[in-house]
Amino acid sequence: MSHWSLVIGPSSLVRGPVWVLSCLVLLLAVLPAAAVERFRPPDFTEHKLPETTTPEPPAPFWDYVDLGYLAVALGLATHLALVRRSRRGLLALSVISLAWLGFRRDGCICPIGAIQNVAEAVANPNYVMPFSVVAFFALPILVALFFGRTFCAAVCPLGAVQELVAVRPLRTPRWLDHCLGLLPYVYLGAAVVFATTGTGEDRAPYVICKYDPFVGFFRLSASATMLALGLGFLVLGLFVGRPYCRYLCPYGAILKLCSRVSKRHVRIPPEECIKCKLCEDACPYGAILEPTVEQSPRERLRGRRRLAILLAVFPLVVAVGAVLGHFTGVALSRVHPQAALAELVAKDDPGDVQADIDKIEAFRNTRRPPEELYAKARALHEQFAYAGAWLGGWIGLVVGVKLVHLSVRRRRDEYQPDRGNCVSCGRCFWYCPEEQVRAGLITVAQPPSAVQASSRAEPTSDASNTAEGGCATK
Ligand code: SF4
Ligand code: SF4
C-alpha cells in the first residue's frame, strides 16, 4: 500500500467534496467584492445634469377639430344673432354645441377654464400653453369685442344647457341682480390668484375646472357633491335665467367687459324702436334697458354730488380691500395642495376621512422630511398673503366701479339691450312688432296706444323659448 493510498482512505472520500464546496462558497463571497472593485460607485458631487430637450408632443388632433368647430360656430352664431335675427337658429346651434363641445368632447377644452392656463402662463415663464388653448381663450373675446356675446348665445355648452332649461324664468330684483352680478369678478380674481400661485401644479385641477357644475353631466361621472351642485343649478335655472352665467361664470365677466365696447351688437327692434313697451319684460336675464326720463335740475345736482362722493372714497375702498385681502393669505393657501398637505401632516389627525389618511401615508412613503414640507407651506402663506392683497384690491376696485357705474346716467331714447349683460339669445326679438313686420308676419307695427291696451296679456316665456313659433300671425 503506497503512502497516497493511506491518505485517500475511506474518510478522505467524504472530505474531498467538502473541500470543493468550501472553495466554491469562498469564490462566491469574493466575486461581489471583486465586482465592487471593478465598478466603483459614481461620484455625483460635481455632476451637473445635462440639458435635455424634450420634443413637443404631437398636437392633439381633436383639439384642432374643436378649434375649427369653435370658429365656425362663432361665425354662425354671430350671423344668426345680428343678421338673420333667428332665435330658432340660435337654439338649434345651442343644441349642437351642447352635444359636441359638452357631451362628445367632455366640456374640454373650454375658454372658461383656459383663463387659468393663460394666468399661469403669464406668471410662470416655464409654463408652455398649447396653441389650441390660447385660441380657445382668445377667439370668443375677439368676437365679443366686435359683435357682443354671441359665444354665450349659442356656442358655450354651459350657456346652452342653461338656455334650454330656462322654461319659466322669473325676474330677479334689480338690487339682488346687481349684488350677485359682482360674484363673477370675484371668482375671476380668485381663479387668477390660484392659477398664478401654482395651485394647479402636481396635476391638481384648477379651481374653475374642479367646481364646474356641469362638467360632471357632460362626462357622466362626478362626485355626489358636484352632481348635486349641477342639479341644483339646473333646477334653479328653470326659474332664474342662466344662474351660472350671470352670477358665477368668470369668462362671462371678461366677455361682459368686451361686449360693452363692442363695435356692433344685437338690437331689439330691427329698425327704429316705436316704444310700445312690449319687450320691456321679455328678457329673462334683466338685460333690457328702458328709455330714460328727463331729470329735474335738483335730481341732477343730487346725482352729481353722489358721484363726487363715490369717486372720492373709491381709492379708500380699494385700499381697504387690499388690507383685508392680505389677512386672508393663510386661508387662501389651504387651496394649494402642498399647504393643505402640510397642515394634514402637522396635525396628523385626519379623522375618518380615508382620502386624508391616504395622503398622509403617501407623503410618509416618499421619506421626505416633514420640515421641508412645512417650509414650503410657510413660503406659500407669504405668497398668498401678497396675492390675497391683490385679490382684495381687485374686489374693492370691482365694487367701486359698480357703484360709479350705477351713479352715472346715460341718456337712452329707446329700449336697448344692456351690452354687458345681454347674451344675444334673441328671446326678445319676437316681442317687438317691428320684428314681425320685418319677418312679413304682420304688415304694420301697432302704434303704442293700441299695443299697450293688449300688451299686458303678455307672451309667455314658453313663447319666447320657442321664439319663431312666436306671438304674431299674418
Ligand atoms: S357666461 Fe360663461 S357659462 Fe355662460 S355662456 Fe357665457 S361663457 Fe358660457
Ligand atoms: S337678446 Fe334680448 S332677451 Fe336675449 S339677453 Fe339680450 S336683451 Fe335679453
Q: At what angle do helices 337-347 and 370-407 cross, to 10 degrees?
A: 130
**Rounded to whole angstroms, how far apart are CA atoms 180 and 178?**
6
Distance 159 CA to ligand 1 centre (A): 5
Confidence band, pLDDT 50/70/90 cuts, at residue 335: confident
Confidence band, pLDDT 50/70/90 cuts, at residue 349: low
**Rounded to whole angstroms, how far apart are CA atoms 324 and 238?**
37
Nearest CA owner, ligand 2 atom 8 = 283
**Per-residue pLDDT at 13:** 46
Q: What is the per-residue pLDDT across 454-465, written as a single tens digit (0 to 9) for each?
A: 444 444 443 344
Q: What is the per-residue pLDDT across 176-193, written as a single tens digit (0 to 9) for each?
A: 999 999 999 999 999 999
From the number of C-beta atoms within 10 Å of its C-beta (0-12, 13-18, 19+), residue 466 rates as middle
Pick the ligand that lies closest to the CA of residue 431. 2
Atom of ligand 1 nearest to the CA of 242: 4
**Per-residue pLDDT at 204:** 66
Pocket test for ligand 2, best of 428, 429, 430 (most atoms within 8 A of CB): 428
**pLDDT over 80 (residue 207):** yes
**pLDDT over 70 (residue 55):** no
DSSP state letters, 244-258: HHHHT-HHHHHHHHH
Confidence band, pLDDT 50/70/90 cuts, at residue 472: very low
What percent of the chain has pLDDT above 90? 54
Confidence band, pLDDT 50/70/90 cuts, at residue 38: low
Q: Beta strand 288-289 with 416-417: parallel, antiparallel or unpaired?
A: antiparallel
Which stretch of DSSP H or E encloses residue 191?
A: helix 183-196
> Cell for 231?
342639479
**Rounded to whole angstroms, how far apart are CA atoms 138 and 132?**
10
3-state secondary structure of 302: helix
Q: What is the per-residue pLDDT across 282-321, written as a single tens digit (0 to 9) for each?
A: 999 999 999 998 889 999 999 999 999 999 999 999 999 9
Average pLDDT, the chain: 84
**Per-residue pLDDT at 444:** 77
Q: What is the per-residue pLDDT across 239-272, written as a single tens digit (0 to 9) for each?
A: 999 999 999 999 999 999 999 999 999 999 998 8
**Per-residue pLDDT at 245:** 96
Q: What is the per-residue pLDDT across 87-118, written as a single tens digit (0 to 9) for each?
A: 999 999 999 999 999 998 888 778 999 999 99
Distance 287 CA to ligand 2 centre (A): 6
**pLDDT over 60 (residue 2):** no
**pLDDT over 50 (residue 175):** yes
Kindly state if the Cβ of 249 falls inside 6 Å of ligand 1: yes
Confidence band, pLDDT 50/70/90 cuts, at residue 174: very high
List all residues whose CB is within 6 A of at least one atom of ligand 2. Answer: 266, 282-283, 285, 287-288, 417, 422-428
385 or 24: which leads in pLDDT? 385
**Rounded to whole angstroms, how far apart are CA atoms 238 and 164?**
9
**Per-residue pLDDT at 118:** 94
**pLDDT over 60 (residue 36):** no
Pick the ligand that lies closest to the CA of residue 156. 1
3-state secondary structure of 211: coil
